[in-house]
Amino acid sequence: MKLYCLSGHPTLPCNVLKFKSTTIMLDCGLDTTSALYYLPLPLVHSPRLSKLPGWVSKDGTVNLEKELKECAGRVFVDSQPEFCLPERELLDLSTVDVILISNYHCMMALPYITEHTGFSGTVYATEPTFQIGRLLMEELVTFMERVPKAQSATCWKTKEIQRRMLPGPLKDAVDVWSWRTCYSMQEVNSALSRVQLVGYWQKVELFGAVQVTPLSSGYSLGSSNWIIQSHFEKVSYVSGSSLLTTHPQPMDQSSLKNSDVLILTGLTQIPTANPDGMLGEFCSNLAMTIRAGGNVLVPCYSSGVIYDLLECLYQFMDSANLGTTPFYFISPVANSSLEFSQIFAEWLCQNKQSKVYLPEPPFPHAELIQTNRLKHYTSIHGEFSSEFRQPCVVFTGHPSLRFGDVVHFLELWGKSSLNTIIFTEPDFSYLDALAPYQPLAMKCVYCPIDTRLNFHQVAKLLKEVQPLHVVCPEQYTQPPPAQSHRSDLMLELQPPPVAYRRCSVLGLPFRRRHERIQLLPEVLMNYK
C-alpha cells in the first residue's frame, strides 16, 4: 500500500492511495494563496492601479515593467491570477480509478485533474458538496471572466530572474511553473459530469476489491471523512472535521475506530483562536462601526461560515438595537447559495433538521430576506448601485481580495477610517491580502473563524479511535514557525506519525495477510 502526496497544503490536500490494485485520489484542493502575488482585478476602472510603475531591477539589467508592477512598496504580477495546482507529474493521472471528495473547498482543483489528463474514473461526493462546490467553481470562473486580462505573464517565472533578481516575497514563491490560470465553465461542467452522488454511510464497492464509505465530518454542509476498507484492512481518511455545534450534522467519530492507518489532514489553520470568541469579537466590532456611521466589509466565501454569521447577526442586531441596518450579500451565486442551504435538511444538525418538520426553513436567513434586511445581488452593477443604503454590512468575495466584488469595496471604502473590514476566513494572511491596498485608512479587524479540529481535540479523538498508524502533513509534526515554543500546537503520538510533504511517496506500514472468499453451500454440505 502506497500513498502519493500531490499537495503540500495541509488543509487543501490531494493524496493518492494505492490499495489492493485500486488507485484512489483523496481530495483535490486548489491552493489559491498564489493569487496574493498578483495585482487585484478591479471591476471598475481604477486610476490608481492602472498608473503603477513597472518594475526594473536595480542595476537596470532586467526590465519586466510590463509584467511586474510596484505597488505600496511591494512587487506584484500584473496578469490574470494563477493558482497552485496539485502535483501532476508524480504519477499518471489517467490511472486514477476514483476520486473521493471530502468537502466543497477540497474539490476546487477537480477540472485540472479530470480534464486533459486522460482521467476516466468516477468522482464520489455528497449532494451538498457537489451542489455548493459547483457554485463556488461557477463563482470563481465568473470572477475571472468578468474582467478579462489580455496579458499572461511568464517571463518573471524564469528561474534566474525569480530566484536571483526579484524582491521578496515574490522570490520565495515555489513551483511557479506549475501555476495555472482559472478553468472555464465548460471544463467545470465536464468535470462535474463525472461526479456520482453518495449519502453518508453509503457503502460503495470499488471493483469488488475495496469498499469506501463517507462519514459525516461536522465541518460543512455535506462534508465527509472516508473509510476505505477491505475485509481485513481499514484506512480512515480524515479531512476538514469539526466537533463544534454549528449548522452541519455532527461528526461521526466512532466509525473511525480500529483503523490500521488514519490519514489526518485539514486541522484548524488558526489553532490559537477560539471560534466562539472570534464570533463575539466580530459582532462587537461590527456594532461599533455601524453605530459610528461606518460600513462593514466582510470578505468571505459564498457558503459555509457565512450561514453561521448571518444566524448570529440575526439575533445580535436586534439586541444591539441595530435592527434596521441592511445586510448585502453580493456574489454571482449569492441567491443560489442561500436557497440551497435551505433544502439540505438531511445534512444539518438535529435542531435545524427538526425545523423542517414544522415546516419552517432551517436557517433564519430566510426571515432576514423576507423582511428585506438581507438582500442579495449578483454583482455591484445593476440594482445594487441604486438600492444600497449606508451604513451597511456587505458580505462578498473573494477572501483573497484579488478578484470579485470585494476589490471595488476596498477602493470605495478604504480611504475612510469610519469603515471597517473584518476578516473571518482563515485561508489568507490578512496582511498579505491587504498589501496592494496600502496605505489604508479603513480599520482592519482579524477574526478568523476556523471550526476545524484543533490539536487538543485531535489528540483526544486519536486516543479514542486508536489507529495503528497516523499519516499527516509534516506541518503537524512541529509547532508553527511563528510559535516555535508552543509544543502543544503539534501532534505528539506514539508511535510518531508518518509525515509527508508535497511529492512524498510513502509506503504505508502494513501487510495484507488474509482475503475473503465465498464457499458455495454445496461444498460445505460434503463435510457434514
Partner 1 sequence: MPDIKVTPLGAGQDVGRSCILVSIGGKNIMLDCGMHMGYNDDRRFPDFSYITQNGRLTDYLDCVIISHFHLDHCGALPYMSEMVGYDGPIYMTHPTKAICPILLEDFRKITVDKKGETNFFTSQMIKDCMKKVVPLNLHQTVQVDDELEIKAYYAGHVLGAAMVQIKVGSESVVYTGDYNMTPDRHLGAAWIDKCRPDILITESTYATTIRDSKRCRERDFLKKVHESIERGGKVLIPVFALGRAQELCILLETFWERMNLKAPIYFSTGLTEKANHYYKLFITWTNQKIRKTFVQRNMFEFKHIKAFDRSYADNPGPMVVFATPGMLHAGQSLQIFKKWAGNEKNMVIMPGYCVQGTVGHKILNGQKKLEMEGRATLEVKLQVEYMSFSAHADAKGIMQLIRMAEPHNILLVHGEAKKMAFLKDKIEQEFNISCYMPANGETTTVTTNPSVPVDISLNLLKREMALGGPLPDPKRPRTMHGTLIMKDNSLRLVSPEQALKELGLSEHQLRFTCRVHLQDPHSDTDTLSRIYSHLKSVLKGYAVQHLPDSTVMVESIVLKVSSSAEEPDLKVVLLSWCFQDEELGSFLSTLLKKGLPSAL
Q: Nearer Cβ to partner 1, position 203 or 486?
A: 203
CB 462 within 8 A of CB 262: yes
Q: Tell me the closest approach of the beta carbon of residue 471 to partner 1, in angstroms.
A: 23
Which is it for strands 224-229 and 210-216: parallel, antiparallel or unpaired? antiparallel
Q: Tell me the closest approach of the beta carbon of residue 195 to partner 1, in angstroms.
A: 14
Residues of this chain that bind partner 1 (CB under 8 A) = 127, 198-203, 213, 231-232, 335-336, 339-340, 342-346, 353, 356-357, 359-362, 512-521, 524, 527
d(CA 264, CA 18): 17
Q: Nearer Cβ to partner 1, position 38 or 347?
A: 347
Helix (H) or strand (E) holding 100: strand 98-100
Q: Nearer Cβ to partner 1, position 261 or 462?
A: 261
CB 26 within 8 A of CB 237: yes
Name the DSSP letter for residue 207.
Answer: T
User: Residue 146 — φ and ψ, nearest 5°?
Assistant: -70, -35
Q: Nearer Cβ to partner 1, position 200 or 282?
A: 200
Q: Nearer Cβ to partner 1, position 254 or 372?
A: 254
d(CA 374, CA 324): 10
Q: Nearer Cβ to partner 1, position 302 or 336?
A: 336
In the numeric block, which cell numbers belong to residue 128?
Answer: 451538498
Q: Nearer Cβ to partner 1, position 10 or 248?
A: 248
Q: Tell me the closest approach of the beta carbon of residue 516 to partner 1, in angstroms.
A: 6
Q: Tell me the closest approach of the beta carbon of residue 358 to partner 1, in angstroms.
A: 8
Return the sign of the alpha-carbon dihedral for residues 91, 125, 333, 438.
Answer: negative
Cβ neighbours around 404 below 10 Å, total: 29
Q: Tell me the closest approach of the beta carbon of residue 503 to partner 1, in angstroms.
A: 31
Q: Tell me the closest approach of the beta carbon of residue 355 to partner 1, in angstroms.
A: 9
d(CA 438, CA 429): 15
Q: Nearer Cβ to partner 1, position 463 or 527?
A: 527
Q: Tell me the closest approach of the beta carbon of residue 249 to partner 1, in angstroms.
A: 10
Angstrom CA distances, 491 to 11, 192, 414, 471, 480, stand at 15, 36, 41, 11, 11
Q: Nearer Cβ to partner 1, position 202 or 245?
A: 202
Return the sign of the alpha-carbon dihedral for residues 254, 255, 257, 263.
Answer: negative
Cβ neighbours around 323 below 10 Å, total: 10
Is the peptide bond preceding residue 326 cis, with omega within 30 degrees of 0? no
Q: Tell me the closest approach of the beta carbon of residue 349 to partner 1, in angstroms.
A: 13
Question: End-to-end distance of the chain based on CA atoms, in angstroms?
Answer: 40
Q: Tell me the closest approach of the beta carbon of residue 299 to partner 1, in angstroms.
A: 24
